[in-house]
């Protein structure tokens, strides 16, 4: 089955570090970009960044540059999103999603999503 499986919910204190994961299976993980999307409680979707697991080429949204680090380990088909010092405002659901196109010409879309990892940051 083609799927992205995300790590479980996390409860952390402000200032703590965290790394959450997204493991792909059922397809060639190294050949498709993986995006991270934030959804704060009751709010909309925000694209955070994207990584190509084949060579770890990474792009960040300006809003998230310097705030998080996206990485990947292609040997275990897993992408990561990490924080070095969490803030209460990082409380959100975080989704990973596969970037895909069946038509070429740059018509990308996010066709496969993980179920999300809920991160709660509270003192």
Partner 1 sequence: DIQMTQSPSSLSASVGDRVTITCRASQSISTYLNWYQQKPAKAPNLLISAASTLQSGVPSRFSGSGSGTDFTLTISSLQPEDFATYYCQQTYSTYTFGQGTKLEIK
Site for partner 1 contains 27 (CB under 8 A): no
Minimum Å gap between C-beta 14 and partner 1 is 26
Work out which of 114, 117, 119, 121 binds partner 1, going by CB under 8 A.
114
Residue pair 8/102 in contact (Cβ under 8 Å)? The answer is: no
Please select the residue that binds partner 1; options are 41, 62, 66, 123, rule is CB under 8 A: 62
Among 35, 51, 72, 86, binds partner 1 (CB under 8 A): 35
Number of residues that bind partner 1 (CB under 8 A): 23
Following DSSP, what letter does each residue of 1-22 receive, concatenated?
A: --EEEEPPPEEE-TT--EEEEE
Virtual CA dihedral for 100, 105, 106, 107, nearest 10 degrees? -60
């Amino acid at each position: 089955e083609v799927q992205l499986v995300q790590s479980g919910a996390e409860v952390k204190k402000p200032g703590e570090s965290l790394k959450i994961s997204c493991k792909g299976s059922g397809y060639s993980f190294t050949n498709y970009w993986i995006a991270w999307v934030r959804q704060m409680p009751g709010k909309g979707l925000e694209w955070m960044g994207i990584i190509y697991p084949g060579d770890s080429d990474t792009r960040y949204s300006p809003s998230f540059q310097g705030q998080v680090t996206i990485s990947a380990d292609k040997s275990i088909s897993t992408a990561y999103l990490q924080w070095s010092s969490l803030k209460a405002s990082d409380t959100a659901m975080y989704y990973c999603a596969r970037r895909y196109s069946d038509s070429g010409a740059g018509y990308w879309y996010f066709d496969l999503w993980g179920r999300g990892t809920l991160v709660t940051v509270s003192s």
